[in-house]
Structure 1
Amino acid sequence: MPHWLDRLFGREEKSALSSRLIALTAGTRSAWSPRALPAMMQAGYARNAIVHRCVRLTAEAAASVPLAASDGAITRLLDMPNPDQSGPELWESLYGYLQLAGNAYLELASLADEPRALHLLRPDRMRVLAGPTGWPDGWEYAAAGRKRRFQRDRVSGRSPVFHIRLFHPGDDHYGLSPLEAVGRALDLHTAGSDWARALLDNAARPSGALVFKGENGQLSPDQFERLKAELEASHTGAANAGRPLLLEGGLDWTPMALSPAEMDFTTARREAAREIALGLGVPPLLLGLPGDNTHANYAEANAAFLRQTVRPLVMKMARALSVWLRPWSVPDLEIRPDFAALEEAGEARHA
């Protein structure tokens, strides 16, 4: 079974190279990020502001583009896909999953061979079933301990599942998640937040050293434990920042300043944020990251985002939907996006 499927269902990989982890500091315990798909989406979208904003910005912009089909019934299906979701809600989720997982899926519900509803399927629950020739012949969806199988009709060419994926140079059936490409930058940016929080928890300032200047230079075990307990109880945490430290005889406090490498950590985190934005196709200027923040540059960045990221993504979706729905509709079915609304939104944002 391909290694991607092992990551998809959370199976442990034996290869040391497959984890693709990065150690952030030397001489300390390494901080790793899991690369299983559900954990990767959780660490990226739910716990990182840069990834969250990039995905939402792209998904909302792409979902705001109406899709019109040459068949009126298909146009109504795209606009009102199911009783629980409107068109923009469904497409926003679909674009979001495509950016997070590199794959997105829809299920088509039909009655009397006529399309009636579209439902979203989570990519971390899907598995491609390859046929004798190696091409996808079906799909398996696992949820709540149960599995459903969808088969492609080879005679009519109809498929109950729509699968769109991003380009992956090393996999025949699944797309490459952009979070894989920005994984190292994501680790670095998240670790920067953890480091800043740890610095705040530890008296909100760089730590220091308590030096015992007694005869043998060592505290007894009871003295050591008592001193440690007092420091943790009364001199750590943001609420205790700046509280004076009362030392007994023989003890001296030696503060430790930040090294140049530690002082540069903020810059490294900022560059990691820019790399994440680059990998997800969003100009850093639109995220409020420091840089050339002028009015002209912002307008150009917004135009580039719509032209280079949103438009190609929507065009790809429209063409893929056309190919998928043709066996269910007229042979020359064509779905076209209406970019007028997107251009008006871009002009309003520029103004």
Structure 2
Amino acid sequence: MRLGVIDIGSNTVHLLVVDAHVGGQPLPAASVKVPLRLVELLDGDGALSAEGERILTECIIQMSVRADELGVDDLVAFATSALRDAANSEAVLARLRTASGVALDVLPGQDEARLTFLAVRRWFGWSAGHLLALDIGGGSLEIAAGMHEDPDVVSSLPLGASRLNRDWFANDPPKRSEVTALRRYVRAQIAPVVSKLYVVGEPTRAVATSKTFRSLARIAGAEPYSRGPYVRRVLRRDALREISTRLCKMSAAERCDLPGVSADRAGQLAAGSVVASEALDLLNLDEVEICPWALREGIILRRLDWLTSA
């Protein structure tokens, strides 16, 4: 069965197509990305602008056509925090569905955390024991932990890299006072989650997903992703703290010269590094292992489960 998912994220609209069957690993067949930066198309009132809606509509239609060309049997489309939190979300969603013909849903933040956790659990398997999963997106930070495929603790916080860069950094590179203020805000947001995690116990394995964590690990010396998904990659807390301090002193243009940093993500990487660094510190994690699967794979895995059981 060929499955497709259109992920309308805060930074990128991404079509992922995989070939899957019961009991087998979903194998990537195609990947199409458009760096839309939806979070930057919101107006001063937090609503998606008319121009932003037009661009998004065209993008979804193009992705749907491409999915047909690729022979997708079942297509799922969902939006995460940028569209979820937009002031005019419901009206925009209704118009998008009508104009594109795509059954587009908005994924609640806690479901986003659960599905990312599912992907992490399936990738590492039961031998990973008690898992803790972190995912930094453009609009939110997801945290989930537990022993099973459905986590015992889930949390979605407004700590996405693009959102924080827009709201907290007025300068490039940011001023020291801006970085300090952001670190305090991030810690205040994450702190209430720490007590919930203590209840379920110390994790056997801590895992991180998302482009932000992958870029930070690459800067810290992890193998390039051209080596494939099966190479073990880790990001240590002590290295992350030093990297975050360095990134916050660099301009976006200077960050582009670092390994694993793309031009479309360089601007928000400093803010993302602050979130990553403070999360590992507050959660007392010496290191996190980078998982190649994340939310899109979780959506596909859950969809495959549903289709095969039906």
Q: TM-score range by the shorter chain?
A: under 0.3
TM-score by length of 2: 0.22
TM-score by length of 1: 0.20
Larger Rg, first or second structure (1 or 2): 1
